Chains A and B, each alone.
Chain A
Amino acid sequence: MTAHEAANARRIGVYVCHCGGNISDYVDVDKVIADIEDAGDVVVAKTAMFACSDATQQDMVADITAQQLDGLVVASCSPKLHTYTFRGVAARAGLNPYEYTQVNIREQCSWVHTDDQQGATDKATALVRAGISRTRLTTPLEPMVVETLPRTLVIGGGIAGLRAAIGLADIGLGVTLVERELELGGWVRRFGPMYPHGKDGRALIETLVAEVRRRPAITVLTGAEVVGKAGSFGNYRVTVRVGGEGAGTIEVAAGSIVAATGFDAYQPETGEFGYGIEGVVTLPEFKALVDEATAPLTHRGRPVRSVAYVYCVGSRNTGGCANAYCSRFCCAATVQTAVQVSGLDPSIRQFHLYRDMRTYGKFEPLYTEARKAGSVFVKFDNDAPPAVARRDGGGLTVTVRDLLTHNEELALPADLVVLVTGMVPRDNEALVGVLKLPAGSDGFFNEIHPKLRPVETVVDGVLIAGACQGPKTSAESVASGLAAVTQSAAILKKGFTELDPLVATADQGACTACGDCLTACPYDAISMTETGDRHFAVISPTGCKGCGGCVPMCPENAIDLLGYTDAQVTAMIESLVEVPA
C-alpha cells in the first residue's frame, strides 16, 4: 500500500443482522462476514441477533469510538425501517450520519429467496460488498434546515380526526379539518350506546364537535374534499374543493397532513348467508334499529321474538381471498347490542353463531353479561358455515352444526338474522392519488412500521390515523389520532425541520454553462451565475428536491446527486456482479 492509499484508507464497520431468524434462517450470515471481512477498509465485521436492539446499538457506538470508524454499514431490513435508527447511532458516536449505508438483506434477499440458501447467501454478500463500496466514497454532509408551517391539515372528521384536531390545537398548532360529508362524526355519530361503557356515540361526537367549535385555531370545512397537493414536507399547499362538484376551491398551507378517513362496513353479496331475504340484515342496520327501538322490538312492522347472529361475515376469510383479517370491533359490538336487546325485552331469544369469540381485554365482562341475560352461543366450524332459509309460515330458519355438542345439527327459528359484518377499506381512490398514500395488500393504508413508526407513511409529513389504517375500535382510533398529534408536533413545533442534504451539486470546473440543466428542474433550483468572466450553473440546496432529474441532462457529466454520485453507483454496480469465492 502506498502512503497515498494509506492516507485515503477508510475505517468501516460492518454489521450483519440475523433479525431473529428472519434473515439467518435463509442467509448464512457468518459466511457473509467471512466473505467480506478481508475487503479493504473493513475494520470491524460482526453479526448481530437484532441490529436495532439497544444492546447492539450501544456496541456499534462503542466500536465507532474505540476503533475510530469513519464509515458504517448495516445489513438488515429495508431502509424504510431503520435508516434513522442507525443514522442516530452514528450521530451519537460522533460519526457523520451520512457516512452510513443501509443494506437491505431481508425484504429484498432472505424473504424472497427462502427456497435457495446458497443463492440468498451469495446475494447478501454481494449486497454488503456494494454497501461497503458506496461507504468508501461517502463524505460528511450536514442536513439542510427548512422552516415549517405550524399548521396541520386533518382529512376526515370521524372520531379519530376530531380528537386529533383538538389535540393539535391544544399543542399550539393551527388545524384545518376537511370532512367530505356535510356532518362531522363519521360512523360513531350514528350510534347509540357503544361498548365498553355503554356511552352514547352521538353524545360523544356532540361533545367532540363542541370542543372543536370552541377552538378558534381549528377551521372546519365540511362537504369538502382534497383535490391537489403541491410543495413538500413542512410546506405543503393543499387544494380543497368546497361546496360540492363544480364549486370553488381554496388553498390550504400546512406543514403536515393527517389522513383519518376511516373505513366502510362490509357489504354482503346477495345470497351470502341469505342476504337479500326479508329479515336478514347487517350489523350496522341492526344497530341502527336497536338504537332507535322502544319495546316491543319490531322490524318493518313485524314483532321480533328471536334473533340469530352470524359472526365474522366478510372477515377472517381463508383460502387466499380478500379480507383475511379479523375486524376486531364486531364481536364486542354485537355482544353490546345483544345486551341492549335484552334490556329492551328479556324474553327475546338470541342465538350467537360464532367461530371464535374475540371480546378481548376489557370487553370480556360484556360477553359474560350477554350470557347472563340469556344469549345462547353456538360455535360453528368455518368449513360448515350456517345456512339461512325462509321458514314456511314466515320468519327464518338458521341451520348450524354446534361444534361444542358433537356437531349436533340445530335448526334455529329467527325473526331476524344479523350478519356481523366487519370493516373494509373505504373507497378513496382520488385521495390516494393526490397524497400518494401507500396501501397494503388488504387495501388499508400502510404505516412505515407497525410498532416503531405506527402513524407515519413513506411520504414525509403525511400521517395516517384511525380505522383507515386497518380495523380499529374507536378507542384505538383515537389513540392513533393522538399519536399523529404527537408526531405532527415533533416535526412542526420546532419551526424548522432538517432535510436530507442528498441534493444535486454542479461541478463548477466541468460546467460549460450550456444551460441544458436549467429547464430540467421544475423547482427552479438551478440558475446561472458568474465569477469574473466564468459562467457556470449553481444548484440551490434548499430548492433542490433531490430527485436527480438534472443529472443525466448535463452533457458534461458535471452534476452529481449526493449520496448517489456517479462514482458511488458505478462502484456499487461493480461490487454487485462479483461472485463470492
Chain B
Amino acid sequence: MTAPVATEPQAPGDAFVPRILVLSTNNISDPGIDLAGSSHMHYSPGVKVIGVPCTSGIRPSWILHALESGFDGVFVASDGDECAYLPDCAKRSSRIVGEAQARMRERGIDANRLRLAAICSVCAEPFTRHLGQFSTALAALGPAAAELTP
C-alpha cells in the first residue's frame, strides 16, 4: 500500500520551492481549500495553511514574522464580501495587507511577496490557480531571506 518514501532532505542543488504561508478563514476559504483536496487537485507542498476565524483579525506582525522566519510569501485567503462576521471585512483585510506591505518595504522585503484574494467555500480551482501563479512569481523572486535588511 505505502511505497517507500525517500528520506534524504532536499539537496542544495534542487530547484527552489518557495514556502508559502496561507492564512485562511475557518468557515469560508478553508472549506474552499479543503475542496481542492477532496477534488484531488494539486499545489506545491511548500504551501502551508493556518486557519483563523476571519482575515480581519490578522495582525500585520504575523505576516512580517512569517517572512522573517523563512517563508517566501504570504497569501491571505479572505472571505471577500461573504464574511459572516463583518460587513466591511474586505476593506479591513486590505487595510491589514496594506499596513503589512508598508512594513515589509521598511524591512527591504518585496511587497509582492504578500497577496490577498477572496477565496469562497467552493473556490478550489481558483485557489490552486492563485497558488500556482504565486509559487511561480516567488520562484522568480528567490528566497525572501536574501532580501532582509540586517
Contacts and interface: CB of A to CB of B under 8 A. Distances in A.
Interface of A: 21, 24-25, 28, 31, 78-80, 104, 106-123, 126-127, 130, 436, 438-441, 458-459, 502, 522, 545-552, 557, 561, 564, 566, 569-570, 572-574, 576-577, 579-581
Nearest to B26: A79
Interface in B52-99: 52-54, 56-62, 65-66, 69-71, 82-87, 89, 92, 96, 99
A231 B25 CA distance: 20
A25 B1 CA distance: 6
Contact of B34 (A78, A459, A549): A78
Given A441-B35, A548-B53, A111 B85 contact: no
Given A438-B121, A547-B54, A561-B53, A111 B38 contact: yes
A222 B118 CA distance: 36
Interface in B1-38: 1-3, 5-7, 9-10, 17, 19, 21, 26-28, 30-31, 33-38
A458 B69 contact: no
Given A108-B37, A436-B82, A28 B2 contact: yes
A547 B56 contact: yes
Given A547-B86, A548-B52, A574-B65, 10 more contacts: A21-B2, A104-B49, A120-B45, A130-B50, A440-B35, A440-B122, A547-B56, A551-B59, A577-B69, A579-B9
Contacts of A579: 9-10
A107 B42 contact: no
Interface of B: 1-3, 5-7, 9-10, 17, 19, 21, 26-28, 30-31, 33-46, 48-54, 56-62, 65-66, 69-71, 82-87, 89, 92, 96, 99, 121-122, 124
A123 B7 contact: no
A189 B116 CA distance: 48
B57 A561 contact: yes
A107 B65 contact: no
Contacts of B56: 547-549, 552
Nearest to A20: B1
25 contacts: A104-B49, A107-B34, A112-B43, A114-B40, A117-B6, A119-B44, A119-B45, A121-B5, A126-B48, A436-B27, A436-B121, A440-B122, A522-B87, A547-B53, A547-B56, A547-B83, A548-B56, A549-B56, A549-B92, A551-B57, A561-B52, A561-B57, A573-B21, A573-B66, A573-B69
Contact of A113 (B27, B42, B60): B42
A7 B36 CA distance: 43
B67 to A, nearest CB: 10
Contacts of B21: 573, 576
Contact of A21 (B1, B9, B42, B82): B1
Contacts, number: 167
B73 to A, nearest CB: 12
A112 B121 contact: no
B57 A123 contact: no
Q: Which of B1, B6, B38 has the most CB of A within 10 A?
A: B38
Contacts of B46: 119
Contact of B84 (A80, A122, A436, A569): A436
A545 B56 CA distance: 13
B5 A118 contact: yes
Contact of B122 (A119, A123, A441, A551): A441
B2 to A, nearest CB: 6
Given A441-B35, A576-B50, A117 B5 contact: yes
A118 B6 contact: yes
Contacts of A570: 62, 65
Given A107-B38, A112-B37, A570-B62, A564 B3 contact: no
A154 to B, nearest CB: 21
Interface centre among B40, B45, B61 (most CB of A within 10 A): B45
Contact of A566 (B3, B45, B59, B92): B59
Contacts of A123: 45, 48
B5 A546 contact: no
